[in-house]
Amino acid sequence: MIKLHKTIYDEKEVRAQFPIFNSGNLVYLDSAASSQKPFSVIKSINEVYSKHYANIHRGVYKLSQEATDMYEDARETVKEFINAGSVKEIIFVRGATEAINLVTSTVADINLEEGDEIILSRLEHHSNIVPWQIAAKKHKAVIKIAESDENGDVSFESVFKNVTSKTKFISITHISNAIGSIIPVKEICKEAKSRGIFTLIDGCQAAPLLEIDVQDMGCDFYVFSGHKTYGPSGIGVLYGKEDILSEAPPYQGGGDMIDKVTFENTTYAGLPSKFEAGTPNIVGAIGLGRALQWMKEIGMNNIYGHSKKVISEGVNILKNIKGLKIIGEPSKRGGVISFIYKDIHSHDLGTLLNTYNIAVRTGHHCAQPTMERYNVSSTVRASVGYYNNKDDFESLAEGILKVSKVFENV
């Protein structure tokens, strides 16, 4: 049962839910890489291992049945979280990377032909580039790029000016992990559907931030990872339309994905089991379910509203630092700000910020084509979760100025 949530943000109350903030003065600005975990998620994981753990589905004893129920309840929670039409459309995977590889290795594998086109955006994470490159090479298909503009926006027009009668797939991020741009995926999916084009949306940065409704969005596939949505690592979700997944071949072979096995032939289980070979990450799925419930208890509109406020404050604070340049000024920004500072390399800046207990991400953020577009090799990335506030960006600004003095004295 999802509880009613408060609408007033209480900083102390929120941070008290995260044990990692209970000691020291950690400034954690790396939620785009992985979010911290609330007590309720950690407790749920501990309780499974200490009270309910067993392998699932085929056990006739009570413990196995309890674990099975908890695992499948988590699937129901995911279904509700993204408003999927059926639990058959929810596939548990190791993470978004595996989810995308599953689609390219199955659905794309039986649908791509020589000369077909795949459209990606300039802002994709490598995990939404490399699997498509492998598929394109195998089938002699062509990858086309929807470019971002100077501000970091990828528009509806930039996608569809690449579309032809040969376009088979559009695979695009919902929010850029590198510069925070929010992409108009609903409009893109709607138009793609009218043209018979498959759509896959990488929701890793959006699922912890926005209300997701895959039926309203109209996408064929939506993927996200547990560790970015306040849940455990090693678990993720592939949403896929039931009719499409039903026609696709299995991704892996093994236990739980079979109906009947003989040496002459094997028949496969129905959805979702067909795509969950072997013993799954039982505890990870249950922990993810609890994390999604935690977000729903707060309210996704509240989470987005808070993030929008904190990011806006962060942008204003960072813009006042002389010599700092924010990379990307998208019209709609998620929970990410990327920047460079003077001629200090991002790794050096991040390393020295760590001495002040400030955690930021540095490098190309698994988005080298994005870095190339904006003529940088790497950036410092500050990203927020529900536990962040304006004070974190003020601490970041103070840290940057301290680092600057270090370099002045070298």
276: nearest Cα among 250, 245, 241: 250
Contact 186, 174 (CB under 8 A): no
Considering 189, 204, 219, 366, which one is annotated as catalytic? 366
182: which DSSP letter?
A: B
Residue among 123, 165, 175, 169 nearest 143 (CA): 169
- Whether 189 is a known active-site residue: answer no
Integer Cα distance of 279 and 64 in angstroms = 13
Is the Cβ–Cβ distance between 403 and 324 less than 8 Å? Answer: no
Torsion over CA: 372, 373, 374, 375 (sign): positive
End-to-end Cα distance, the chain: 58
Nearest residue to 186 via CA among 204, 212, 158, 151: 212
List residues bridging with 333 in a β-sheet.
181
Q: Where would I find the H helices in 11-140?
A: 11-16, 39-47, 62-82, 96-105, 107-111, 130-139
Q: Which residues are catalytic?
A: 366
